[in-house]
Amino acid sequence: MSGQFEDEFRPIAEVVLLAAEGPVSVDDLVALASAESDMSVQELRDSVRRVVAELAAECEGRGLELREVANGFRYQVRAEHARWVARFLGERPARYSRALLETLALIAYRQPITRGEIEDVRGVGVSTSIMRTLHEREWIRVLSHRDVPGRPALYGITRKFLDDFGLKSVEDLPALDRIRDAQPADLFPAGDLGASNGPSTQALGLVEAGGPEGEAGGAGPPGDPPAGGEAGSDEGRDEGSAERREAK
């Protein structure tokens, strides 16, 4: 019974995953299949997982991959082919400043963390434009408030962050010892970083903004203060200009 169901449901799952605007969970596929099946929910879930595993295996050696992220499964362009798709579509990878990437890395690796703690580590103030961009991208959220005077917000990453960076969970973040000498643009695996939805634009990658948005002293790993330079604020250095351009 399950074998016949899986044979019939495989092309349905495939087109649903291709047509979806975002990740599709196993529960979503189970709910879809249950409308025309008398199998139990557990039997359906097991069969759907086998179908998804088979679809993923069929992608071996192809330019597409079926990848599991935080909110489910999605077809996406393999990272090594993404530049060709971007060139064909005339799209440019999202550009973010070094300050934004350092802030995002600290939130990802040290959550829950306050804005003040981020500033203490980086040695400069975090500009309002950076926090606004991270919120607009839905990459960070307020988890709670610290029970101290002023009740500062405690920030953490979101499931959308995990989806956009091609991660299933926070455990999939690169180990800190692997990125000790990495540049900010290398902190996360390639994902859908602001491009429009759809398999053709997944994994388009990340480009670090240069010019006036970059900070002097280079980029250290999350947790290390920036080398050299006086403490100040990202606002006065126009580090939010790249984020404002991207948000338009």
> pLDDT for 197-208, tens place per residue?
343 333 333 444
Q: What proportion of the chain, given as a percentage, has pLDDT over 70?
A: 70
Q: Which of 32-41, 117-126, 178-187 is least confident?
A: 178-187
Contact in structure between 91 and 200 (CB atoms under 8 Å):
no
The average pLDDT across 8-28 equals 95
Q: Which fold has domain 89-247?
A: Arc Repressor Mutant, subunit A (1.10.10)
Contact in structure between 207 and 95 (CB atoms under 8 Å):
yes
> pLDDT for 23-79, tens place per residue?
999 999 999 999 888 899 999 999 999 999 999 999 999 999 999 999 999 999 998
Contact in structure between 156 and 141 (CB atoms under 8 Å):
yes
- Pairwise CA distance, residues 241 & 23, whole Å: 31
Which is higher by pLDDT, 87 or 29? 29
